[in-house]
Amino acid sequence: MVEAFLGEGGFGIVAKCRDTKTNQAVAIKVNKSRTDILQQAKKEIFILEQLRRLDPDATNIVQWNGFFLERERVCLKFELLDQCLWDYIRDPNNRRLPISEVRPILGQLTNALSHLGSLGIVHADLKPGNIMVVNRYESPVKVRLIDFGLACPASAVMPGDRVGTVGYSAPEVMLGLPHNEACDMWSLGLVAVELVTGVPLYPGKKYYDVLKFIIETQGQPPDHDQRVH
């Protein structure tokens, strides 16, 4: 039973629902019935199947509770969490979080990425909108990494696939070069800056704008053949 709509994206919507069997509130990600999104949902399920055996509390990764089909739409069932970090830092009481609060959040996200790395998985879309606060009233704040719609095995990364969100993607992703789990650490650094300052580090709506800003402030990146493989 649907109780509220929590968010919307290119994939479809996320709704707060009530499990009529357990009377428990859950989050349901309802994917659109488009062929490309159905294929993406299958890839996400493949990743979630690997993550399912992990303890959400120990890994800071959202708990997935399976999927079902509804009128040719793939619906993914997750534990219900409180709010994303974007909403958390937009609260007038939380803007520009103190280091004492940022440190445990980054520690938890590093832990989540460490577990992904141990499984050879690249999240590929790390940003405040994909990091959920479990309960905003707890201290220290606990967070969990969500949305594995763009995640893939590092061995399956295809150079040229520009995945992720503008402003959080690593330079090698934006340039269409080979990349791996390290791109998630770049994104985590940008999340850290945003938590401390309250604003994104790299402005721009296109990769060109972001790369231009990076070059102007940090210099020309090394040639591809000079990179460490």
Residue with tokens 């949305």: 147
Q: Tell me which residue of 89, 176, 170, 92 sits closest to 133, measured CA to CA.
A: 89
| Cα–Cα dist 44/90, whole Å | 29
- Region of residue 3 (left: phi > 0; alpha: psi -120 to 50; beta: else): alpha
| Residue type for position 52 | R
Q: Transcribe 27-66 into DSSP letters.
A: EEEEE---HHHHHHHHHHHHHHHHHTTS-HHHHTBPPEEE
Catalytic residue among 36, 91, 125, 161: 125
Contact 172, 133 (CB under 8 A): no
Helical axes 99-118 vs 182-197, angle rounded to 10°: 170
Q: Within its chain, how far is the Cα of 142 from the centroid?
A: 15
Q: Tell me which residue of 44, 13, 45 sits closest to 27, measured CA to CA.
A: 13
Question: Is 125 considered catalytic here?
Answer: yes
| Cα–Cα dist 227/60, whole Å | 31
Catalytic residue IDs:
125
